[in-house]
Amino acid sequence: MNVKKLMIWAGALALVAAVLAVVPAATQAQSNLLQNPGFELPYTDNQQANGWARYRITIPKPEDASLLQYSNSANFSAETNPSGSFPELMHGGSASQHIGLQQDPWIAGVKQTVSNIPAGSQLVFCAFGRIYANNDNYGKGSPSVNGYEGRSQVGIFPDGEANVDTAGLVWSGTANPHDTWQQICTPAVTVGASGKVTVFTRNDWRGFAAVHLDAWWDDASLIVQGQAQPTAQPTQTQPQVTTQPQPTAQPQPGGGIVHTVVAGDTLFGLSLQYNVLVDEIYALNGLNSQSILSIGQQIIIKAGTGTQVPAQQPTAAATAAPTQAAAETPQPPADATPPTPTTDVQPTVAPTAVAEISNLGTLCIFAYEDANADALRDTDEGPVAGAKFTVVDGQGTIVEEYVSTDETDAHCISDLTPGPYNVSVQPAPNTIATSDKRWGVPLTSGSTVNIDFGSRSDEGGTASNSNNNTSGSTAGGSNLGGIVAGIGGLVLLLAAGVIGAFVIARRRA
């Protein structure tokens, strides 16, 4: 009997040793350490995925909001595609983390702190991101506007809990994945002595405004790499490099400034960079909102004595479709003799009258009853009478004051000169605003911008929305705890088996 007992104990101990030796090494090298990496339901406060915490960075809106260099409080929600029409809004699983805001730029994201990671481990954090920017609702056939930058990033702090402004936080490059999912990864970092890291997602929409500025996050991963390099595929991480070619501006004789276009430049971006109105750039270069820039093209930023429209301008026009060439080709001075056409594109130059029509913008305003206080206008939410709108141009002149009515159509102000406008609204009597009450609107040539102002009766109270930099649930823990618990359970199960075998052996003896 002693031989039987020894054999039973020896086999059990060997099995336990094998499990303890193999399982931690395999799981440490391959397991995703995040809690709820797929951003699945349930969502804490119906806003952020369980296991994640939300944060917002708010920058107060100035009285002149036209430059859009501020950040309002973003809204968080689960994207579950209840209609079934837009499965592309989830990269995997049945939900993704949605963050968005109407009209105003925003900076926000989610974060998670993971513990019990061996100090000195090499970690890489990745997540799939997607953005949409447009004045039309998603799914109406309008693609996201590529010129608008949502600046999607992921970040990691390698030694402890952290906030988004903590020094030492390592960020990925920025990406702008319009209407597509793109994996974004941090560089590999070394875990500090605390054995704890904090990971972040972030979007920064400053400088841009549209009816919809949205971002989605899904399928995140935090993987121990040991001493190896990050396993993310180069084709997925290379496009996210933040280092853009530095813009070049050449001072010209007589005080003029000419900018040479590099990758990523847009006319609206140049107006922000040099603090000039975008319509001034249009006028100096014979361009409009439909013009296409090409790398190496020269753009006049400030006219000086003798500064002329750069010779490269026709190159940008020639690359456009023939139906767009009229809007993209610089027009000659009225008293100049038109040059002899040298390409097939030149004869399609449109009359000056057409260019004048396309150079005007439209602003439409509407007050609606926001019954569910979600700051989004639903199809069954009708008009509210008595809200007073004030529209002011970039020079501070009141363009129009309008008091809303029961009409179901928006009130539109046409023939507006392109440039910055401010729109403010005073809620109707006995109502409380559920959306912002002031907007900065960069109106461009030929564009139509819609402003929807939501309010509800003050009798039933109103939903609150925190503007704190961090809010929501505490950050999630590590899956290592679950792994350890699983190993412990296996050990107990094996021990129970050994004891049972021992008892049976004794009875038989």
pLDDT tens readout for residues 420-432 = 788 889 999 999 9
The whole-angstrom separation of Cα 279 and Cα 37 is 45
CATH number of 34-243: 2.60.120.260
The lowest-confidence range among 379-393, 465-479, 488-502 is: 465-479
pLDDT at residue 84 in the model: 85
pLDDT at residue 190 in the model: 94
Confidence band for 58, pLDDT divided at 50, 70 and 90 = very high
The whole-angstrom separation of Cα 365 and Cα 492 is 68
- CB-hemisphere CA count at 13 Å for 3? 0
Q: Residue 231 CA to chain centroid, in angstroms?
A: 25
* CATH match for 361-460 among 2.60.40.10, 3.30.420.40, 1.20.1600.10, 3.30.70.580: 2.60.40.10
Alpha-carbon separation of residue 20 from 16, 120, 226, 237, 481 (angstroms): 6, 21, 19, 36, 15
pLDDT at residue 274 in the model: 78
Higher pLDDT, residue 226 or 302: 302
Confidence band for 413, pLDDT divided at 50, 70 and 90 = very high
pLDDT digits (tens, 9 = 90+) for 230-240: 333 333 333 33
Q: DSSP string spanning 68-103?
A: ---BBPPEEEEE--TTSS-GGG-SSTT-EEEEEESS
Q: Are 448 and 31 in contact (CB under 8 A)?
A: no
Q: Are 24 and 441 in contact (CB under 8 A)?
A: no
Q: Are 123 and 224 in contact (CB under 8 A)?
A: yes
CA 105, 58, 453 angle in degrees (round to 5)? 50
Q: Does 248-334+347-356 carry CATH code 3.10.350.10?
A: yes
The lowest-confidence range among 89-98, 143-152, 241-250, 395-404 is: 241-250
Name the residue among 5, 15, 100 with its Cα closest to residue 495. 15
pLDDT of residue 407 exceeding 90 = yes
pLDDT of residue 146 exceeding 80 = yes
- Residues 12, 14, 19, 24, Cα dihedral to 10°: 140
Tokens of 452: 């929807």
pLDDT at residue 279 in the model: 78
Confidence band for 6, pLDDT divided at 50, 70 and 90 = low
pLDDT of residue 265 exceeding 70 = yes
pLDDT at residue 366 in the model: 94
Q: Are 366 and 410 in contact (CB under 8 A)?
A: yes
Confidence band for 109, pLDDT divided at 50, 70 and 90 = very high
Q: Are 133 and 170 in contact (CB under 8 A)?
A: no
In this structure, the strands spanning 361-369 and 448-457 are parallel
Exposure string of 131-164, with b = 16+ CB inside 10 Å and e = fewer, is bbbbbeeeeeeeebeebbbbbbbbbbbbbbebeb
- CB-hemisphere CA count at 13 Å for 119? 6
Name the residue among 2, 35, 8 with its Cα closest to residue 479. 35
Tokens of 66: 């036209």
pLDDT at residue 447 in the model: 76
Alpha-carbon separation of residue 39 from 78, 141, 152, 269, 323 (angstroms): 8, 27, 17, 33, 44
pLDDT of residue 342 exceeding 90 = no
CA 192, 23, 52 angle in degrees (round to 5)? 50
The lowest-confidence range among 8-22, 104-118, 292-306, 438-452 is: 8-22
